Homo-oligomer: A and B are copies of this chain.
Amino acid sequence: MKVVCFGELMLRLAPEGRLRLLQEPKFQATFGGGEANVAVSLANYGEKAKFITKLPKNDIADAALRELKGLGVCVCGVVRGGDRMGIYYCEKGASMRPSKVIYDRAHSAISEAKEEDFNWSEIFEGVDWFHFTGITPALGDNVAAITKNALLEAKKRGITVSCDLNYRKKLWSKEKAGKVMGDLMQYVDVCIANEADAEDVFGIKGETSDVENGKLNAAEYESVAKQLVDRFGFKAVAITLRESISADDNNWGAMLYKDGKALFSKKYAIRIVDRVGGGDSFGGGLIYGLNHYDDPQMALEFAVAASALKHTIEGDYNRVSVAEVESLIHGNASGRVQR
């Protein structure tokens, strides 16, 4: 399967371990971004993943592309130009101290890209699946227009489209998000969301009000999914269910709503190594799962197990193989040494 992911790729600057930002004069310097993270997951599973973005011509962006290429993601369609690459600073929380993300992404090359930068007809040659997240159109009206161009071309070609709602309050208001995303949803086949996205973007909610404290309520999630399907005609809706015990311990599961039925995954109690990119790894796993298993429950379990493993991996990218995910699905969660 050939998948295109479109979005922003950022430099990620993080202190070592559990240090606060700049407590020592060092940063770990890696890369990540919602859609790139999905592309890496898919490449790791052996899919042909192509990542589309715009990046400046400089050594920092070159390094970002070097890493993606090394991980097997095709970057031949990346447009080069613009002034800068977005950055985010990432401080890992611990216990009751929350993780902290500071964005410095304004004026990035992708956020200032133009519609004519992307020839979607060429990009989608031979492509089966297109994935984007709600972050991409949030980057600006121009990027929303580019996204719409992509969706129109994708639909013309019968490409399946998935979207992770991924609401970011620092990028746009709920109102703006609702309006722009509401328009784009008509082209989407598979909608992915976390506990809060549907309400933030579309005002769709169950009665669960206490997301901060991580209480989950299965019935309400089903209700949210049904409302999403009813309003936008999605073929499937997946919602990740995170219970945050602390910055170190989370419970993690998901629901897949498909053909009028809500399937719930196994739930994992996770000791967290790196939580950022957890949702994206679910998206990557779901796209793989829906295309490789006849049984939607298995697709869901693959996505959840893959993203559970991501929480044990440093960095945005989910560096695990299909074999590792399947081993976990089949119950090997004891962490024993594999010699």
A: which residues have CB within 8 A of B? 13, 17-30, 58-60, 63, 66-72, 83-85, 87, 89, 91, 93-104, 106-107, 168-170, 212-214, 244-249, 268, 270-273, 275-276, 308-309, 311-315, 319-320, 324, 328, 331-339
Contacts and interface: CB of A to CB of B under 8 A. Distances in A.
Main secondary structure of the interface of A (DSSP, over half): loop
Contact of A338 (B94, B100, B214, B337): B100
B273 A95 contact: yes
Contacts of A97: 309, 312-313, 320, 324, 328, 335
A246 B333 contact: yes
B18 A63 contact: no
Contacts of A247: 312, 335-336
In the complex this chain forms, how many copies of it are found? Answer: 6
Contacts of A212: 331-332, 334, 336
B335 A244 contact: yes
Given A24-B25, A59-B89, A336-B212, A309 B96 contact: yes
Contacts of A324: 97
A338 B99 contact: yes
A74 B337 CA distance: 30
Nearest to A107: B107
Nearest to A99: B337
Nearest to A106: B83
Given A18-B273, A21-B59, A70-B69, A214 B98 contact: no
Contacts of A23: 314-315, 319
B84 A104 contact: yes
A127 to B, nearest CB: 21
Given A68-B70, A84-B104, 9 more contacts: A13-B27, A22-B60, A94-B312, A95-B273, A98-B332, A98-B337, A101-B339, A275-B337, A276-B337
A324 to B, nearest CB: 8
Contact of A25 (B29, B85, B99): B29
Output the residue of A18, A69, A104, A249 with the most chain B CB within 10 A: A104
A96 B246 contact: no
A238 to B, nearest CB: 20
A192 to B, nearest CB: 18
A333 B338 CA distance: 29
26 contacts: A17-B17, A18-B313, A20-B313, A22-B29, A23-B314, A26-B26, A26-B27, A66-B70, A84-B104, A93-B335, A94-B312, A95-B272, A95-B273, A95-B312, A96-B268, A96-B328, A96-B333, A97-B313, A98-B332, A98-B337, A101-B337, A101-B338, A169-B339, A244-B334, A246-B334, A247-B336
Nearest to A56: B104
A49 to B, nearest CB: 14
B17 A314 contact: yes
B312 A18 contact: yes
Contacts of A336: 98-99, 212, 244, 247
A285 to B, nearest CB: 14
Contacts of A339: 101, 103, 168-170
Contact of A24 (B24, B248, B313): B24
